[in-house]
Structure 1
């Protein structure tokens, strides 16, 4: 991949059209805030990762009731903030709620500016309309960018590639282009409702930063007994991703992620076909990608209040 450089055993890629150099592997924010992960361990994981060259940090306003952002904020003290590309996500669809969540994230992370803020969990066809309404969340993020609170804007989702494409279309209709897009990219996605086949080519065409997630789907893919963790990471790294975000809850898993980068070589077409053939049967119905086929992973479905109010101009249309 022409936009890939290597230093100290870590690969760096360019984030879309931003010119930012980001590590090919990123630290997932959800795992570091889990109750079963000691806070001191999570800080050690983050700082060790940065010391090993991982500079992309993923997070979200809603992860573990704020614990993930609070822990990352503590870890990024003592000069570590200047060494990372920091990303978080907000759930608010209204301008007011998005601005509130962003300011809360800034306080938790103990920073004045976040490098990339993303609209989280774009799962429904109404989400793009709410986000790009005159009173919508994107207006809040654009204002925050002008105020120096953030640098880049993106969106995430895990449900359906057609909704991602629709979000891109609605953004374009409003004269807006995203800097980055986050989505599931893994050895099973290629077989079922595939982000790789439907969305990835469009992002490459638009020169948008590609953030891959769920390379192992929190270990669910591994339960299929068809692939190893290293194979999962190598497959995702082989795609035109800027960053593959992976959950890390122990030093051993951090070692595994670093080893995957160290041993990664561009895969031949035959190697890709071989890996996909091993997962074809298990992946056929989406059973091992429940974030597509169930609502278990949909935090905003279980907590609709996170989204904020519907646009005022439409509330009068609600049935009485």
Structure 2
């Protein structure tokens, strides 16, 4: 396994992270637990999760998997949807209870996908107050945010944070062979994160499988491309032992890619990527869980 430093935190984490959404999909929770523990045994230390994944099932299963000494071996992250202080605080406590821990290593604002999300989070009695109080109480160590919709929203979140003299430890975003061509987080957001020393969490290296449907790249190509960027962690969905083997193989075989290799990969994906067809999380709302459930963020339904 490759290990990298998480931004300016001085924390060492595995370059491959286990995605929390997919480990709630197995019919038998024992299979989920087996996948998580096998991943840890094979060197994956970064655990991703979220308060809303599979109606809490993902956190419950991860909590069970992290018993018996496994919690001490991982860097545990979860995400919260609430935009108000009250709702965010409630969700933080629910997540900790499900995960069977008194703290997470990293707590992130989830699905920052709307232009107004930064304003809600940093408003008076907004979610940032709950996060800071949780940090003060020892319920989380570091703070970040995630989003998958548009680089503009990420840049606005960074700007609003700066206006409030707030520095994020991490930022999570799509980084893949098609993002480079369409509404690109790599080109627009990544340089700002590197300059600020913010830990980069790459996600959707395969776009939940959509990028593979283009028949232009392999799964290993996708993981290698994301690992080649200045990412601290590439979070990938692992829903079976076979996919775990694939993720481990990607780490084992990764070597820094030269400019010609990168250019060849991007040339192969350019035409397919042009319209965002294989990145539906950017172009429609099928990945926007909080849009379908506005009560999760504390915004009344229209």
TM (norm. structure 2) is 0.98
Aligned residue among 3, 7, 10 for 1:12? 3
Q: Decide whether the 8 Å contact of 1:94 with 1:309 is kept in 2.
A: no
The alignment of Structure 1 onto Structure 2 pairs a total of residues equal to 301
| Structure-2 residue corresponding to 1:131 | 121
Give the alignment's Cα RMSD to 1 decimal: 1.0
SS at match of 2:133: helix
Aligned residue among 139, 157, 167 for 2:147? 157
1:167 matches 2:157: yes
Cα deviation, 1:177-230, whole Å, max 9, x if unaligned, reads: 000000000000000000000000000000000000000011110000000000
- Tell me the distance in 2 between the aligned counterparts of 1:32 and 1:211: 19
Aligned residue among 239, 249, 272 for 1:282? 272
Moved segments of 4+, more than 2 Å: none
Q: Decide whether the 8 Å contact of 1:125 with 1:163 is kept in 2.
A: yes
Aligned residue among 176, 187, 196 for 1:186? 176
- Tell me the distance in 2 between the aligned counterparts of 1:51 and 1:127: 38
SS at match of 1:210: strand
1:141 matches 2:115: no
Q: Decide whether the 8 Å contact of 1:28 with 1:247 is kept in 2.
A: yes
Counting only pairs closer than 5 Å after superposition, residues 38-117 of structure 1 correspond to structure 2 as 38-117=28-107
Aligned residue among 198, 203, 221 for 1:208? 198
Give how far 1:37 is off: 4.2
Cα deviation, 1:39-71, whole Å, max 9, x if unaligned, reads: 111101110111111000000000000000000
- Tell me the distance in 2 between the aligned counterparts of 1:282 and 1:42: 34
| Structure-2 residue corresponding to 1:304 | 294
SS at match of 1:218: helix
Which consecutive residues of structure 1, in runs of 5 or more, have no partner in the other structure? 1-9, 311-320
1:253 matches 2:243: yes
Q: Decide whether the 8 Å contact of 1:23 with 1:53 is kept in 2.
A: yes
| Structure-2 residue corresponding to 1:32 | 23
SS at match of 1:134: coil
Aligned residue among 204, 218, 224 for 2:208? 218
Q: Decide whether the 8 Å contact of 1:30 with 1:247 is kept in 2.
A: yes
- Tell me the distance in 2 between the aligned counterparts of 1:37 and 1:270: 44
SS at match of 2:208: coil
- Tell me the distance in 1 between the aligned counterparts of 2:74 and 2:109: 20
- Tell me the distance in 1 between the aligned counterparts of 2:115 and 2:80: 18
| Structure-2 residue corresponding to 1:22 | 13
Give how far 1:128 is off: 0.3
Cα 1:212–1:101 change in 2 (3 A) is: same
